[in-house]
Structure formats: structure tokens, C-alpha cells
Amino acid sequence: MSKINHILQNSPRDIPILQATFGLERESLRINSDTHKLAQSPHPECLGSRDFHPYIQTDYSEPQIELITPIASSTAEALRFLQAITDVAQRSLDQAEYLWPLSMPPQLTEEEIDIAHLNDDFEYRYREYLADVYGKILQSMSGIHYNIELGKDLVQLLFAESGYSSLTAFRNALHLKLAQNFLRYQWLLTYLYGASPLAEPGSLKEKLEKPVRSIRNSHLGYINHDDIKVSYDSLERYVTDIESCVADGRLIAEKEFYSAVRLRGSKHNRDYLTQGVTYLEFRCFDLNPYSPVGIDQETLDTVHLFSLALLWLDSLEQVDAELAQAQELNDRIALSHPLEKLPDDAPLAEITEAMQAVITHFQLPSYYQELLEKLCRQIDSPALTIAGKLYQEAEQDSLALFGQKKGLEHHAYAWQDHYALKGYETMELSTQMLLFDAVQKGIHFDILDEADQFIKLWHGKHFEYVKNGNMTAKDNYVVPLAMANKTVTKKILREAGFPVPGGAEFSDKDSALRYYKHIQDKAVVIKPKSTNFGLGISIFKEAVSLEAYEKALNIAFAEDSAVLVEEYIAGTEYRFFVLDGQCEAVLLRVAANVVGDGRHTVRQLIDRKNTNPLRGQDHRSPLEIIQLGEVEKLMLEQQGYSPDSVLPKDVKVYLRRNSNVSTGGDSIDCTENMDKSYKELAAAMAKAMGAWVCGVDLIIPDKEKPSTVKQPRCTCIELNFNPSMYMHTYCHEGPGQAITPKILAKLFPEVSVSSDGKN
Amino acid sequence: MSKINHILQNSPRDIPILQATFGLERESLRINSDTHKLAQSPHPECLGSRDFHPYIQTDYSEPQIELITPIASSTAEALRFLQAITDVAQRSLDQAEYLWPLSMPPQLTEEEIDIAHLNDDFEYRYREYLADVYGKILQSMSGIHYNIELGKDLVQLLFAESGYSSLTAFRNALHLKLAQNFLRYQWLLTYLYGASPLAEPGSLKEKLEKPVRSIRNSHLGYINHDDIKVSYDSLERYVTDIESCVADGRLIAEKEFYSAVRLRGSKHNRDYLTQGVTYLEFRCFDLNPYSPVGIDQETLDTVHLFSLALLWLDSLEQVDAELAQAQELNDRIALSHPLEKLPDDAPLAEITEAMQAVITHFQLPSYYQELLEKLCRQIDSPALTIAGKLYQEAEQDSLALFGQKKGLEHHAYAWQDHYALKGYETMELSTQMLLFDAVQKGIHFDILDEADQFIKLWHGKHFEYVKNGNMTAKDNYVVPLAMANKTVTKKILREAGFPVPGGAEFSDKDSALRYYKHIQDKAVVIKPKSTNFGLGISIFKEAVSLEAYEKALNIAFAEDSAVLVEEYIAGTEYRFFVLDGQCEAVLLRVAANVVGDGRHTVRQLIDRKNTNPLRGQDHRSPLEIIQLGEVEKLMLEQQGYSPDSVLPKDVKVYLRRNSNVSTGGDSIDCTENMDKSYKELAAAMAKAMGAWVCGVDLIIPDKEKPSTVKQPRCTCIELNFNPSMYMHTYCHEGPGQAITPKILAKLFPEVSVSSDGKN
């Protein structure tokens, strides 16, 4: 059996050394933003059930929220998960609450701390016990746990060179070595990332004389009593020591053993001996208040590099003795002044040289070299560490005030672009909204194809695939294909007795031209059969000339090989969103426009309208910026204005003919004031089509008069099989209707979803 | 109330005068092709149940098949329906049977005629009664019934000008007039389309002295006894007269009243008085043996024009007296010699002038003018009429021999391109095959969009939409979307534990190039992520150079914005067709090739291979013609041959690298000799995906070794969501597997479908 450092040092440079999976857990206290004291409210109801929630839990106390990422295949993915989960958590709180950005709690008394209201009786009693043994305030310190599992291929490759007969034995040796060396060099992480310099008066057993690096990582922090001694000399001894602590009552359970590193992968430590350790949990990270999620990308990667260096280094010989020494060093550094350099007895060169060796041997990208250089600068200048920076903040102001300021800043950041989901902004809005809902309710998700908006959601053994927000297994395959075909849609609706425009389909221009005599005195619409974005459509509200008709045919045939000539239906077009037989929303879309005030120019009015935070670009916002391009200028000119005309008071000018939201149009939620008869008609049309999700476009001449079976008083001009959802939720005008939570509730009826899912 | 002729003559020329719907019924006797006598076999079992079959029934006797079209919106559509139904009927017979193309039966005795085996007891007893009253031979005469309903808009427009207070009264007046005038001018149709000139000895009560135009339309034909007198003077009298015949037993039922025209739309005649006549049934057409379906397009349109002329003409004044006269004239013409001109007392000018007036007034397309001109030529030259032509055939040979020859010709025509469905050849083969099955089993069909291959099938109240042959409601929407995405497919299969190639997806060339170091010593496939037709794929069976890799990336990125780089899997690719959890077929596709015989050149070998009737062009045949273009010549050259090389015996040269059937490849049905373990694996993959219909592409290195869970011994390289069906059925080699009947049986389990559905 070779030593692990030798195996690593002799391995080929192209082994996938960076292959690993990661998971993060972050604790944080909910704070009332009026009083800046611990929130006394219960865990938000909209977060669903803590019985199974994989992402958002409560930790020790009711206001101590715990955010847990799924297993990620890179640090970047882990951080992205944490961003999204943090975003959901922040926006699920009462808006008057924020998350405390520091590890040390704000000023608070034991009485304010309400043990988490968990259904599990053991968990509740365990927390009562912890209050007795450690005190509630100590339990309220928050931090980040960093879980790492070395890549399966990597471990396999190293194992192949190891001479070990069993993979399990090799993995145990690997992890034990990593854990030992982690404790041996933990002082470096304490120096770099310690971020609990001060404590509120009365919160510690000992009074601090001066600010320090990390109370939480010192003997004043979150550690077991002195009578808990656990050896890391061998896995066998580690397991046995903890078991004997539990057996004689020094620990209430194995998980009460607090250590900066924990072996993970089985529920009971003893199982590691037979089944092997799967991954390690590094528990020492204080919350970094400069990041909205409490940790940043560079920290994650530096710690990854640090972990690889730990494997590269020699193993300890006198394990427990040396670790006792290392612990003393760590405590000393944790309690050193934030602007104090590392003590001379810290074996700095060993670990930095190992990090350099890993970079060099495996030819890691230059990014890792830069991380190491930054680390060296922080060693040279303590003021560059987090504790150093916090000390300077506290010098200027109080740390409590800094915590309040940062907490509110992160809170504002979460509510900025509140229709989006942090980390997933490149996906379609509707998908972002659905992911938000899934995270909120504790439904697992996996992005199967990001560019294709293809996700998998699951709860227990029940899974659902979703594409583009509402393309699911709830619809059958052929119905959306029918809706994609305007001729088929019309045939089906007409046969079911619903009003659709008269007209004909042509696959060549000559036949379409011969049809002219049938429409020459009629108002008509000429449109390509299968496009969906309003391209190639000509509308003649009065009798069309042969010349204009031919021109319109040319335009339409340029878009599609089949063209529809339909009667023009006068009235207002509304979009009805129908889900599972129920009309959930009604939207009126109005072409891009501004209304004059007698003082500002058209250009100024547009600029002002564009300041609406809902307006953005490229469909990544619910409304689009109004442009002032050629099309808009021509429209203005036809109405007798230029961009620099001062628009008279109350005069409305349109800048586009088409009412699409995508060209700056306004969306007006009419769900509440649309007559029920039309909503029922739209739902009946979707039902006749067999559609679960359907956008029904109705032209209604006078919505004040209800629709009846004999007189529908409207015409259906289109059914849409993947109707936009976000536009119903975040509107230019009107309350807006949340759709994605309803989709989710229908997909997972077993997971109770509150009805008001609007973020 | 205006007279109908005046209404028509005063109507605007742009009313939709040609608007009408049509339906055809054709009777025909099944004949044994060895003996040319009436088939004694039962109605083919593969035609499903006569209890509900809408298209294929038995008429009077068991071998007298009746083909019924659905209602068609044009004569062309009606003819197309009849073509398809005839095609299905012919190919559903025992291959040793054909349909007798003449109205008059071949030589036969009463004993040979077996009354149709119908489940309905009344229907059976009715036929026994008819045998007593008219004789079985008379009942075995066959013909065509032509149903016409004037267009709803047309009738509404005429009604608006009519002054009638009730639409029903107007429609009754319209139809009664049409029926009266039809009988008045029936002699013209008898002259033009009479086609029963001779009878086999002993089949008639009277002996014919000479050949005639139409026995069937004469008093020797299919008419009631003399004591049945029904007045056409008014609808009231028509109804009452028939009722009294039934009441006193002269008729067994209202439907026993045989007339060249029948009022239709209600089960009982009396209902016409209150609910109105809906359409008319013209019953006088003899089978035209020159058409495989017994009637041709020009006849259908000439009769349509004739019908409009009947409305244009004045009404009769002394209805019954004049109709008695007209009947005498019709009988005389029916029994006139086929080469004899119309008698002088036939009021020819009246009707042809009315036809001309309709053409002129309504500015009908020139086609109608040509039809009228042809009609005039036939009047001038009796030899141009069908009877005239048949007389000439009989002069040369016997009419019985002519009937045999034509019957076999039509039979051969039905079996030519037997994978296709006559009338629907422009649709995809799989859709044609499914339509064939639907017609065969009596499942209603409607083409919702021909170019889009979108059809509706129904039986009773149960309907199903089908696109492209197997895109149905049986699959859920998101599963085919997942299969359309190669990355998602691989993720799902891999997670379910199935073997898929390793690899990575790239959305830009730079990242893909950086990946080179991971694959530089491996065999790889580079392919666009979403195309499906083999475009842009590069295969490197040995380690790829960076230069070649970059070139392959360029080719792939030209096809798609995302590119997959996958490990190359060595072995043979098989397509497994999985339906509803069951593998139904396995196909091996081999690149276009020829095998030498030491005597012919490559060009000659290709030509010979291309004579296979399964080979055609543009995907309208199960196999494609092998081309000899640039690609093929280059392939030949690389193997040291030219098109004019004589290929040594047993040497096989490939003309293409790709094995697609669409580029001339061979399809080899391996269903029966593929190990069950692979079929089960393919079915399990489709199930893991959640697919109802799925084409699973497996690479199998050695199919002699079975697959096991631990050692799948194959790799799945693709799942296909709309897998081709015809290529499994009509193969270059192997028995072929019928798939479409299984699709149909699963869609309509309530309709029993025989398992061997291969046409």
C-alpha cells in the first residue's frame, strides 16, 4: 500500500484532479427590520412543510433558517444553488424581515430565542438539551458548512495506483487523512475566513478584551465541553470514542460531537468501517457578510485547492498529539486581533508550498495560481482578510449597525428583479418562476438542459419533466401539435360549435388570388399558417383591393408555405389563460404607447415609462423597453408627431401597430373584471381541444354584454399551446395573477402549495 | 313565392352555385379468379364487423360487396374516398378474388347466390322476401348510387330570395322539383352512362333480341312490379302513396320502393313533411368497367351540372302524366341498340340548353363547358358512350371475357404499390398505411390537414387525433420533447442505469476545442445536438487529430448551435421499434450497395436492384432508388471501381457511407432472429423514458451474446419519438412486421383488429 501523498505525487498530470461534488449549508437568523431584533414570527408558511423540505429548514431556533443546496458537480453550481435558495428564502419571509449577515447574533436574550417548532419529537427534545448544555445564544451562532466528495473517477484512478485491496479501505484512508490534515491546517482558514470578531455584551461566558478573528472558531465558540476527547488516530478509534461518549451520556447523540470537520455518508459512525466514508463536512466557515449568500466563489475554490494540498502533504505521525497542538494554534489565531499577522510558529510554508505543488503538478488553470497569490497577499496584510475588513467597519461604526446595513442591502438585492431567480437569470422567465416555486415548496429540481428550458422536478418517487414552464406530461402529445396548426385548430373548434373566423387555406399564391372574388368586399386578415410571432400578418379592416391583397399574400408566403385568408373580426383581443379546465387569468395587451402631460416630449415620456423596473430587454423582464427606432418614428410621424414633440395633456400616441408585449406593449390584467361567461367559454374551448394548458385568444366586440351559447359574442382567433405565464403575473396595470404555483400544485398535488404564490 | 327556376335565373352570378356535398355507394360482386364464377367464400374477416362498418358492407348477397363513401365536400373528394375504399376492399379479399366490373352479373344460378350473412334478423328476412318477389339474380345486378346535397349557403341564399316563409318548405319544394325533373330527363343519363348491354342466358324474364344500352335501367331491370304506383305530384302524395303500398302489403317496407331517384334524410318518408328532405339519391348508374371504381370524375361533374340544369328548367305541370311519358322514353332508350342515336322525341335541346345556361349565367370554369361539349359529341356519336364502347368490346370478344379482363386489371392495379393507399399517395407512407387499416376495420377518418399528416379517427363517440402516423394522445407531451433533445435523453437513460455513450455538450467551438485533451487518444463521434437526419455527423473510429477534430466541429456547428462530442461505440446499429412496452420489430439498415456476379457492371447492377417495386423516390416508397451521383462515384473510386467496372462475383461494394434507407440503403427485418434480451432492453429503455412509441437505436458489438442487466453488451445512441413504421413492414430482406395495425388496435381496443394486418 502506497502512502496517499506518494500516490498523488506520482499520478499523471492529466487525471481529473479537480473532479469533485460539493454541497453547502448556511444558517442565518431572521431579523425584524423595524427593531433589528430577532424575528418572533414563525417560520414562513409559504415555505411549505419542514417535514421534508430539502432546501429550506429551520436549524436550532424558529428564526434560525437553514439553507441547504443539493449536491453540485462544481463549486460554481453549488454557489448558484445557494444563490437561488437564498433568493427564495429572502422573498418568502415577511417583507419586514431580513437575514442577519453575521455569524454572531445581534443583541438578544435567551428568552427571545424560540426553539424551532419541529414535528419530530426527538429533534425538539434534543434542542432543549442543547439549550441546557450550551445555552441558546451559543446555539444561535450561524455559519456555513462546506461538503466535499472527491470525484468518483478520481478516487478510482488513485485507488488503482494505491495497492489497497479494497476501495472502501482506500476511501477511508483518503478521508481520514484529509480530516486529520484539515484539523492540522484549519488555522489558515480561521485566519482567512474568520468573521466573528465581536460579541454582543452578555452573549459569551468569558468577556473578550479585544476584537478577534473568529469567536465561533475559538474555544468560546460552538464546541463541545472539555471532557469530550475523540481520537483521529484511526477510524476505528474515532468511532469508538464517540460511541463511548454517547454511551456514558457525555453526548446525547453522535451528531452532538462538534468538530471543524465531520466524516459523512452514513447515519451511524460505525457504518463507515464497513461501508466507507463518502464525503467530508467542513464546518468552520463564518458567514461572510460581504456576500449575499455568506460565502463567495473564490473562497469555495481556495478551499478546494487547500483540500487537494492536504492530500499532497505528508500524513501526521503522532496524530492526536499533533492535532492537540494544531488546535491550540487555531484557538490562538481565532482569538488574535484581526489586524495581527499569523504567528511565526504557524507552519505556513508547508501548506502554501503544497498548494503550489498541486497547481504545478496538475497544470491547473491560472485561476488557481491567482487564488494562491491572493491568499499570500492576505497573509501579508491581515487587513485584507474578512476579519480585518470587519474590524475596520466596526472602527468606523458599530458592527451591529454594519450587520443591519448589509442585511438590508442583501434584502434589497433579493427584491430587485423580484420576478427572476438569482443564479438562473439566463433561463426563460416562466421557468425561473416555476423554479422559484419549486424551491419554495421543497420540490427537488434538476436542470436537464438549460438552453432548452428542460427541467426535472421531483418529490419522493414522483417526478415530472417540464419544458418551457408549462409543457408537461399533463398534456397529451397530439393536442399541442393540433394547436400548432391553425387550420386543424379551427376545424376542431368549429366542429365543437365554437365561433371561429371563416376563411380558407392556400398552399400557392395562384389559388389564393383566385379566391379574391370571394373576399373582395370584405374585411380580411392574411396570415402565414404556422408562425406565431405576428410576422407576415396583414389586416384589412375595410374591403381590400386586389393589389393590396396580392402584396399581403407575398408577405405571408415569405413566412410560410401555407397561408390563411380569414375574415377580419372587429373587437378587442384578450388572452385567456386556461389551466386544467379553469380560466386562471385574462390579459389585454395594448400596443406600445405614451400619454402626454403637456410638458414632456414623446422621447422624455418614453424614457420615463421605461424606468418601470418591470421593463427590460430580451424577454428577461416581464415588460420590454419601448424603443424609438424607425418603426416607432414612422408611427409617430403618421400621427403628426416627432420624438421631440411635446405631447398635449391626456393625448395617447401609439408607437407600434402590434400589441405584443415583446415590442414594448402594455399588459393589463383583466381577470377580475372580465365577465364570467367569457372565461367559461375560453375554458370550454380548451376542453374541446383536449388541452391542459392553453392560451385562448378571443376577439370580443363588447365585453359588457355576456356571452351565451346561442350568441357567443366573440370569436376565437387562436389557441396557444405554450402560453406565456409571466405576462399574466407581472403586469403594466392590474393586480397580476400567479400561474406557475398553480402549475406546480397540479403537478404535485401531494405537496400542499398555498394558493397565493405570487412572489 | 317565386318559382325555383325564376329564383335561380335571377340570382347573382357569384352565388356559390357549385357548393354541394356528395356521397357514393358502389355495389360489386366478388369473383373467384380461377373459375370466374361468384365467390362462395364469406365476406373477408379482416374487414372487421359488418355491424357498424361505415365503408365496406355486404349488399344483397354474401359476395355482393357494398362500398360507401363518407360525405364529401366535392366530387373529387368523393371519388378519392371511393378510390381508397375500393383499394382497401380489393386488397382485403382473398388474393384469388376480384371485383366484377360490370353491373350485370357473370353467368350464375340462383343456387350460387348466398344471401348476405347479416346479424340483423329483419335484414336477412327482407332479403329472403326479395328473392321470392324479384329473384336472386335480379338482386345481384350492381350499380352506383350518387347522393347529392345542395350546399347549405347556396340553399340559404336561394331561400332568402324565394319568398317562402319556411326554409323546410323551400327545401322540400327544391328537392321535389329536382326529383321530378331528374325522372323527366333520366333518359339522358341512361343514354350516356347505361352500361348493361347484355345478360347471361337465363338471367332475365324476357329474352333480349339484341344488345341494348342498359338492361338495369329498363323495365327488365331492378324495378318494382306494375301495381306500385307512386305520385311525384306533391310530397304529401308521394309519402301517402308509398305508405299505402306498405299498408296493403304491396311493399314490405318503404325502402322497397325502387326509383331512379330517392328522397333522403329521414328514416321514414313522413318525416320529410315536417323535417324536410335533406338530399337526393340518384340510383340509376351502371358500373363503368373502364374505371377501377365504377365511375369517373367527368361523370360525377356532368351529373352535378345536369342537376343544376334541372333546377334551372321549368317545373312539370301535369307531373304524373308527363313522368309516365318520360319513363316510357327512358325504357325505350335503355332498350335501344348501343349504337343507335337518341330518338327524335327526346327533348334534348331543353336539357342541353339549360346546362349551357347554367354555365353561362354563373360563369362556371371552362371545365364545365368542356364537359358539355363532350356530352354533345357523345350524343352525336353513340359509339362514344359507355354502352357503345362495350358493344364494340363484345363484338370483338365476349362481354364476359371483357369483364374478366377488366376485373383482373383493376385487381392488379390495386396490388400495384400495395404499400400505398390509392387517392392518398401524396401523404406519408405511414399515414397511408394507417388510413388503410382504419378503412379496413371500419374506423371513420377525416384528414384535418393533409400536408401536415394530421388525421382524426373515430368510432362511435371515441375519437383520436394522429399526426405522422404515430404521434397520438397515447404519448404525453413532454416525453417526445425529451427525446428530441439528445442531452436530456442521455441524462434520463443514464440515470435509469442504461448504457449510453460518454461525452459532453458544447455551445461554442472554443470550449469544444479545449475538450480535445480529454479525447485525443479516443475514437469519437461529433454531431449536432438536435438534427435527426444524419447531417453534420463525423465519426472517427481511431484517435482523431486536432485538425480533423476542429474541422468536424465546424461541420457540426454549421447544423446546430449545440454540438455533442461522444465516445465512438464500435458495433452494428439496430433500430428497435417499441410500442406500449413491447418491442414489435428490429431492423438492420445497410448502406446502399450492390453485389457482383462477374458479368454485369456496377451501373447495371444498380439498375437491376432498382427494379424492385419497393424502390421509388421522395419517400413515397418503402425503399429509395440507389443513385449514381457524385457521392456514390467517389465511394466507388475509393474502392477501386468505376460505374462501368464489371464487379467480380460475390464482391459487395457500398455506394454510401451512411446506412439511411433514404439514400438507397437496404432494410433487413431482424425481428425474429434478434435475441429476446435486446428486445426487452429496448422496451425497458422506452419505458424508462415514459414513451409509448419509441425507436430505440442500439449499437450491438455481438448480437449472438445475450444482454444482461450487469452486462448490457450494447449502447443506446438515440431514441426517436416519431419512428418510421413503413420501413419495418416492407423490407429489402426479411418478412417485415406490420406496425400500423397495432397502433390502430391500441388506439381503438374496442374495435377488434386482426393481428396480421400486413396488407
Would you say residue B753 has pLDDT above 60?
no
Determine the average pLDDT of the residues in A568-572.
93
Would you say residue B304 has pLDDT above 90?
yes
pLDDT at B205: 79
> If pLDDT is split at 50, 70 and 90, which confidence band does B201 have?
confident
> Which chain B residue has the Cα nearest residue A690?
B473
> If pLDDT is split at 50, 70 and 90, which confidence band does A383 have?
very high
pLDDT one-digit tens code per residue, A626-657:
999 999 999 999 999 999 999 999 999 999 98
Q: Does B688 touch chain A (CB under 8 A)?
A: no
Average pLDDT, chain B: 93
Q: Which residues of chain B lie closer than 8 angstroms to A567, CB-CB? A: none
> If pLDDT is split at 50, 70 and 90, which confidence band does A307 have?
very high
Chain-chain contact of A472 with B481 (C-beta, under 8 angstroms)? no
> If pLDDT is split at 50, 70 and 90, which confidence band does B206 have?
confident
Q: Residues B680, B683, B689, CA angle at the centre, nearest 5°?
A: 140
pLDDT one-digit tens code per residue, B371-426:
999 999 999 999 999 999 999 998 888 899 999 999 999 999 999 999 999 999 99
Would you say residue B74 has pLDDT above 90?
yes
How is residue B206 written as a grid cell? 324476357
A735 burial (CB, 10 Å; 0-12 / 13-18 / 19+) is: exposed
pLDDT at A754: 46
> Which chain A residue has the Cα nearest residue B518?
A14
Average pLDDT, chain A: 93
Q: Is B641 helix (H, G, I), strand (E, B) or coil?
A: coil
Q: In chain A, pLDDT over 70 holds for what percent of residues?
A: 98
pLDDT at A225: 85
* More confident call, A283 vs A514: A283
Q: Which residues of chain B lie closer than 8 angstroms to A472, CB-CB? A: 476-478
Would you say residue B180 has pLDDT above 70?
yes
pLDDT one-digit tens code per residue, A235-265:
999 999 999 999 998 999 998 898 999 999 9
Determine the average pLDDT of the residues in A468-482.
97
* More confident call, A208 vs A172: A172
Q: What is the pTM of this model?
A: 0.91
pLDDT one-digit tens code per residue, B242-253:
999 999 989 989
- Per 3-state DSSP, chain B is made up of helix, strand and coil in percentages (nearest 5) of 40, 20, 45
Chain-chain contact of A562 with B690 (C-beta, under 8 angstroms)? no
Closest-CA residue to A714 (of A498, A467, A397, A400): A498
**Best to test chain A binding among B15, B362, B478, B722 (most A CBs inside 10 Å):** B478
Q: Does B74 touch chain A (CB under 8 A)?
A: no
A293 burial (CB, 10 Å; 0-12 / 13-18 / 19+) is: buried
- The nearest CA of chain B is from the CA of A687 a distance in Å of 14
Chain-chain contact of B477 with A473 (C-beta, under 8 angstroms)? yes
pLDDT one-digit tens code per residue, A571-594:
999 999 999 999 999 999 999 999
> If pLDDT is split at 50, 70 and 90, which confidence band does B531 have?
low
Would you say residue B224 has pLDDT above 90?
no
Residues 6+ apart with CB under 8 A from B449: A485, A487, A488
pLDDT at B758: 41
pLDDT one-digit tens code per residue, B629-665:
999 999 999 999 999 999 999 999 999 988 889 999 9
pLDDT at A397: 80
Determine the average pLDDT of the residues in B103-126.
90
Closest-CA residue to B85 (of B423, B403, B434): B423
Q: Which residues of chain A lie closer than 8 angstroms to B507, CB-CB? A: 451
> Which chain A residue has the Cα nearest residue B688?
A463
pLDDT at A687: 97
How far apart CA A71 and CA A82 sit, in angstroms, is 11
> Which chain B residue has the Cα nearest residue A449?
B488
pLDDT at B759: 40
> Which chain B residue has the Cα nearest residue A693?
B477
Element of type H or E holding B552: helix B546-557
**Best to test chain B binding among A15, A453, A478, A518 (most B CBs inside 10 Å):** A478
Q: Residues B624, B630, B634, CA angle at the centre, nearest 5°?
A: 105
Q: Which residues of A125-149 are buried (b: 16+ CB within 10 A; e: fewer)?
A: ebbeebbeebebbbbbbbbbbbbbb
The total of other beta-carbon atoms located within 10 Å of residue B641's CB is 19
Q: Does A449 touch chain B (CB under 8 A)?
A: yes
Q: Which residues of chain B lie closer than 8 angstroms to A564, CB-CB? A: none
Render B357-405 in DSSP notation, one character per residue. HHHHHTT--HHHHHHHHHHHHHHH-GGGSHHHHHHHHHHHS-HHHHHHH
> Looking at the partner chain, which of A454, A475, A488 has a beta carbon nearest the beta carbon of B482?
A454
pLDDT one-digit tens code per residue, B681-705:
999 999 999 999 999 999 999 999 9
Would you say residue B254 has pLDDT above 50?
yes
> If pLDDT is split at 50, 70 and 90, which confidence band does B132 have?
confident
Would you say residue B310 has pLDDT above 60?
yes
Query: Structural domains in chain B?
Result: 20-416 (3.30.590.20), 439-467 (no CATH), 502-567 (3.30.1490.20)
pLDDT at A135: 87
**Best to test chain A binding among B477, B507, B689 (most A CBs inside 10 Å):** B477
Size of interface A-B (CB pairs under 8 A): 96
Q: What is the ipTM of this complex?
A: 0.88
pLDDT one-digit tens code per residue, A183-218:
999 999 999 999 999 988 878 878 888 999 999 999
Q: Which residues of chain A lie closer than 8 angstroms to B464, CB-CB? A: 478
Closest-CA residue to B661 (of B599, B708, B714, B731): B731
> If pLDDT is split at 50, 70 and 90, which confidence band does A52 have?
very high
Contact, A465 vs A474, CB < 8 A?
no
- The nearest CA of chain A is from the CA of B546 a distance in Å of 17
Contact, A588 vs A604, CB < 8 A?
no
- The nearest CA of chain A is from the CA of B472 a distance in Å of 5
pLDDT at B514: 86
- The nearest CA of chain A is from the CA of B541 a distance in Å of 23
β strands within A277-392, DSSP E: 279-286
Would you say residue B755 has pLDDT above 70?
no
How far apart CA B740 and CA A615 sit, in angstroms, is 52
Element of type H or E holding B563: strand B563-567
pLDDT one-digit tens code per residue, A116-142:
998 888 888 989 888 888 888 888 999
Would you say residue B532 has pLDDT above 80?
no
Q: Does A562 touch chain B (CB under 8 A)?
A: yes
Contacts with B, A 11-70, CB within 8 Å: 14
